[in-house]
Chains A and B, each alone.
Chain A
Amino acid sequence: MSLITSVLSLLFTPTTLAVTIRGGTSLLYATLGEIFTERSGILNLGVEGMMIMGAVTGFAAAFRTGDVWAGVITGTVVGGLLALIHAFLTITLRADQTVSGLALTLFGSGLASFLGQRLGPGGTPLVGQIGPKFEKLPIPGLSAIPFFGQALFQQDVLVYAIYLLVPLAWYFLYKTRPGLHLRAVGENPQTADAMGVNVAGIRYLYTIVGGMLVGLGGAHLSLAYTPGWTEGMTAGRGWIAIALVIFATWDPVRAVVGAVLFGAINAVQLRLQAQGTTIPAAFLNMMPYVFTILVLVVITWWEAFSRRVGAPAALGLPYVREEKG
Chain B
Amino acid sequence: MMIPLKVEKRLAPSRTAGFLVPFISLLLALVFGGVILLVAGANPLTTYKAMFLGAFGSKYSLSETMVKAIPLMLCGLGVSIAFRMLFWNIGAEGQLAVGGIAAAGVALFWADGLPEALLLPTMFVASFVAGALWGLVPALLKAFIRVNEIITTLMMNYIAILWVEYLFYGPWKDPAGYGFPGTAQFPEAAWLPRLPGTRVHLGLTFGIVAAVFIWLVMGRTKWGYEIRVIGENPRAASYAGISLMRNIILVMILSGGLAGLAGMAEVSGISHRLQKGLTVGYGYTAIIVAWLGKLNPWGVLLVAILLAGLLVGGDQIQITMQLPAAVALILQGAILFFMLGGELFTRYRLRLEWMPAEQALSPPPIGGRGSEP
- Give the interface of A toward B (CB within 8 A): 45, 85, 88-89, 91-96, 98-100, 102-104, 106-111, 113-114, 117-118, 123, 200-201, 204, 235-236, 239, 242-243, 246, 280, 282-283, 285-286, 289-290, 292-293, 296-297, 300-301, 304, 323-325
Q: Which residues of B272-293 have CB atoms within 8 Å of chain A's CB atoms?
A: 284-285, 287-288, 291
Nearest opposing residue in chain B for A91, CB measure: B2
Cβ–Cβ contact A110 & B330, under 8 A? yes
Category for how many chain B residues contact A:
35 or more
Considering residues A123, A282, A296, which has the most beta carbons from chain B within 10 angstroms of its beta carbon? Answer: A282
Instruction: Pick the residue among A95, A114, A297, A325 that contacts B145 (CB under 8 A).
Output: A297
Is the pair A114, B151 in contact by a Cβ cutoff of 8 Å?
no
| CB under 8 Å from chain A, chain B span 148-175 | 148, 150-152, 154-156, 158-159, 162-163, 165-166, 169-170
A-B contact pairs, 17 of them (CB 8 A): A98-B150, A103-B336, A106-B333, A106-B336, A110-B328, A111-B36, A113-B329, A235-B158, A285-B162, A292-B155, A293-B141, A296-B152, A297-B145, A304-B145, A304-B146, A324-B362, A325-B361
Q: What is the minimal beta-carbon distance from B88 to any residue of chain A, in angstroms?
A: 6
In the bound complex, CA of A179 to CA of B332 (Å): 37
Once the chains bind, are B333 and A296 in contact (CB under 8 Å)?
no
Pairwise interchain contact B341-A95, C-beta atoms closer than 8 A: yes
Interface centre among B5, B152, B284, B330 (most CB of A within 10 A): B330
Closest 6 interchain pairs by CB? Answer: A110-B329, A107-B333, A282-B166, A113-B326, A114-B326, A95-B340
Contact partners of B141 in chain A: CB under 8 A: 293, 297
Please give 11 more A-B residue pairs, beta carbons under 8 A apart, in addition to A106-B336, A290-B159: A89-B341, A91-B2, A109-B329, A110-B328, A110-B333, A242-B151, A243-B148, A282-B163, A293-B152, A300-B145, A304-B145
CA distance A110 to B329 in the complex (A): 5
Within 8 A of A (CB), among B358-372: 361-363
Query: Are A110 and B166 within 8 A (Cβ)?
Result: no
A282 near B165 (CB under 8 angstroms)? yes
B7 CB-CB contact with A under 8 Å: yes
Task: Please tell me if the beta carbons of B330 and A114 are within 8 angstroms of each other in the complex.
Answer: yes
Does A301 lie within 8 Å of B145, measured CB to CB?
Answer: yes
CB pair B330 A239 closer than 8 Å: no
- Nearest residue (CB) in B for A43 is B150
Mask for B1-22, Cβ within 8 A of A = 1, else 0?
1110101000000000000000
